Amino acid sequence: MIQVRGLTKTISTGTHRVEILRGIDLDIPKGQVAAILGPSGSGKTTLLGLLAGLDSPTSGSILLDGEEIAGLPEDRMAELRGRKIGFVFQSYHLIPTLTAEENVLLPYELTGGGPDGASRARELLASVGLAERGEHYPVQLSGGEQQRVALARAFITRPPILFADEPTGNLDSENGSRILDLLFDMNRRGGSTLVLVTHDQELALRADRRITLRDGRVVADEP
């Protein structure tokens, strides 16, 4: 369960103050698939980063399963992220000096892992259609392929909550559908909560709920 109350984010850059989020209240129950929609610049990426504890809010509260994460010290936040959260970035954030397989394996090793890591990484790469690409480095992969590696990496710890920023943004329809099947399968089988920023109509329609942001506020919230 994710409970957000009065969440704001303001950034001051010298002379300017940008109010990115202007008071968000949101409850996302465990196991829900929530799509976050809204025009570019409406605050979607910022909201996702705050919910995942990658950034800290200016004010407000974020409870993950009853635990306040706003203002949590970074070491405790890192521990909680490792236990609970998977994140797929809009810009992938793969590590350039690691192969696809090593990138997928990394979060598993960082959280204690186990001897089955390499085989799990290979299975996940196969499930995103990259069985033959495990030894390749990010620069050797297209944008869509990097996006699929980033998804495989997010799945490896079987996180109870997965945040993904435009997970199908750079995929053709065949790979996009494959990724959606994988996401929804994860939700169904593992009961994981998915919070997805998307412009993808197919994804938005398959979600349990559509939350629309505009100018840092929730302007629609529809089942």
The contact set with ligand ADP (CB under 6 A) reads: 11, 13, 18, 20, 38, 40-46
45 binds Mg ion (CB under 5 A): yes
Edge to edge, the sheet with strand 161-165 lists 85-88, 161-165, 193-197, 33-37, 209-214, 217-222
| Residue type for position 195 | V
For residues 98 and 152, the answer to whether their CB atoms sit within 8 Å is no
Residue whose pair of structure tokens reads 């399963």 in the numeric block: 65
Binding partner selected for residue 201 from Mg ion, ligand ADP, none, CB under the kind-specific 5 to 8 Å limit:
none
Q: Determine the interface stretch with Mg ion among 29-37, 44-52, 68-76, 206-214 (rule: CB under 5 A).
A: 44-52
For residues 175 and 148, the answer to whether their CB atoms sit within 8 Å is yes
Which residues are CB-contacts of 34 (< 8 A; sequence separation ≥ 6)? 28, 193, 194, 195, 196, 207, 208, 209, 210, 211
Q: Measured from the CB atom, is 6 or 191 closer to ligand ADP?
A: 6
Binding partner selected for residue 11 from ligand ADP, Mg ion, none, CB under the kind-specific 5 to 8 Å limit:
ligand ADP
| Least spacing, CB of residue 165 vs ligand ADP, in Å | 7
Q: Measured from the CB atom, is 145 or 166 closer to Mg ion?
A: 166
For residues 54 and 80, the answer to whether their CB atoms sit within 8 Å is no
| Least spacing, CB of residue 41 vs ligand ADP, in Å | 4
187 binds Mg ion (CB under 5 A): no
| Least spacing, CB of residue 44 vs ligand ADP, in Å | 3
Q: Measured from the CB atom, is 12 or 119 closer to ligand ADP?
A: 12
Which chain residues interact with Mg ion by CB under 5 A?
45
